[in-house]
Every structure is written in structure tokens, then in C-alpha cells.
Amino acid sequence: MAKYVFGLKSVKFGTPTGDATMPAVLDAFAQTVRGSMTLSETEATVQDFNVEEQDAPVEQAITESSKLEVTWRAYDLSPAMLEKVKGGDGTTVATTWEAPNKSTLLKLALEIETDNGSKIQIPRANVMARIDGTVGREDMLQIEVTATALDPGDGGAPFSVVFPV
């Protein structure tokens, strides 16, 4: 039976557990800008082994596995949200966020739930964010977040897709 994944219901994040399980507590991320989320798995890198006597390779090996990248945008630039995805300090004063003096990769667990109840679960991801967009009457400044699935810490699956029953 075919399985489909469509629509975006929520994005949640939490602290990685150190293994391929998802954390028990996940916090809701800001509302996602319509049409901005993309999930893309890169192609694995394949090494051909060639010999002089023929054109076709005699063997191939995967030298680098594929990786899953998720990118999305949000309008919420609150100090608490900026701190969650960019680091820095947004907790001392509720109306101010101070950028870190150096860009950092933050480690978060992510769960993306779709309208049909499917869940893309990433137990451990590198998360980077940047402020981007225009400031004007017809648009709002946005934060763009990119997450790359990593080994969860125990050699388990870097991501999974859980389908509803």
C-alpha cells in the first residue's frame, strides 16, 4: 500500500538524547512561512574503480553516505526563538537578543509532523539559522533555519519517517 507525506502540521525541537531515540519533551517551533519548508536528501558519493582494459568500472563503492537537510523559514524573530536557533543571549532581557560573537552549529532533535500524521524524526541535527528577507510594507523579516541530520550518537539511523497506522 502506498504511503504519502503531505502538508505541514508542526515543527518541534528538543535536546538530543545521545542515541537514536527522540526526546520525551519537544517544544513547538515558530509558525512556518507558507511554502518555505524543503526536505532534501543528497546523493551518496560513489567511487568508480576502473581498469585500463575496459570502459565500464569493475567495481563501485560508496565513499560518502547521503544526508538529509531540512530548510524552512519563520517570521518569529523573538529573542527566545533567535536564541534557540542561533545561540547568543535572549533570556536576560525579554526585548533584546544579542548575537553570539561567532556563528555556531547548535545540536537539536527535530520532529516534523505532517497534516496526514506522518512524522519525520531527526534525533540529532546540526542547526544553523540566519536572518534574511526584506523590511518593507509587503514583507516581513524572516529567519531561515537549516538542519542537517547527524549520527544520533550510537550509530543508529540519522532520521526516520513514521507513518500513521
Bridge pairing between strands 45-49 and 106-113: unpaired
Residue 132: pLDDT band by 50, 70, 90 thresholds?
A: very high
Reduce the DSSP state of residue 156 to 3 states and report it.
coil
pTM of the model: 0.88
1: which residues sit within 8 A by CB, 6+ positions away? none
pLDDT over 80 (residue 93): no
pLDDT over 80 (residue 92): no
Mean pLDDT of 116-142: 94
Average pLDDT taken over every residue of the chain = 93
